[in-house]
Copies of this chain bind each other. A is one copy, B any other.
Amino acid sequence: DLVKLTADQFNTGSLVGKTVCITAGPTREPIDPVRFLSNHSSGKMGYALAQACIEAGATVKLISGPVNISPVDRAEVIAVETAEEMLSAAMEHALGVDLFIAAAAVSDYRVAQRAPQKLKKVDSDDLQLVLVQNPDILASVAKHPQRPQCVVGFAAETNDVVRYAKDKLARKQLDWIVANDVSRTDSGFNHDDNAVTLISATSEQSISLAAKNQIAAQLVTILAASL
């Protein structure tokens, strides 16, 4: 496979001596002991990036929400469930690293009052679920005094993808953002393939539809060169 060979050759040793922290997968926000809010992130992109960074020689910590993927050999996995747990893990493991990649699809909201017992179906037809905003993990890391050297975010959108991504890049003080059109039926959430645009304050590079591990290798090539 020529693309993978090429990417591997570029990446070999490109991250030797570097520390990388990656978040991956969805978070789950409990409503009660059996119900939760979540999203369709499979974790594949984050795990592929961890694999690519390992192959490039980095020391990798992978903060992972609940996924059904085999662990990445030689990456240290920190398993979390909620956004608040992911934030704690990021504060412990991401500060001061060379490269932080936030590939997780963190739930923006959690349930205001988590019920200690399973909620019973009530007689009324409607139910109001009050949600409160979760902490912004990416911005918390990017704006921290011990900020990683390079902070990379993802923008998974269904419309106006690049516009939203550039806004997020500036607002959260990121170095790079990977824009991802999840409305495409051939890529994105829960797919093995992806097509992304890697955006910085001064550049914009499209990576065309390919397997997520090939996309990951190409992203790592560009990111490693920027360190």
Contact = CB atoms under 8 A, between A and B. Distances in A.
Contacts of A105: 34
Interface string A9-52: 00000000000000000000001111111111100000000000
A159 B126 contact: no
A130 interface: yes
Interface string A146-160: 000000000011110
B126 A112 contact: yes
Interface stretch (A87-95, A117-125, A204-212): A117-125
Interface residues of A, number: 36
B121 A126 contact: no
Contact of A40 (B36, B112, B117, B128): B36
A100 interface: no
B35 A38 contact: yes
Contacts of A40: 34-36
Contacts of A159: 117-118
A109 B125 CA distance: 9
B158 A117 contact: yes
Contacts of A3: none
A192 to B, nearest CB: 15
A134 to B, nearest CB: 9
Interface in A84-113: 105, 107-109, 112
A182 B133 contact: no
7 contacts: A33-B158, A34-B41, A35-B39, A36-B39, A117-B158, A125-B132, A126-B133
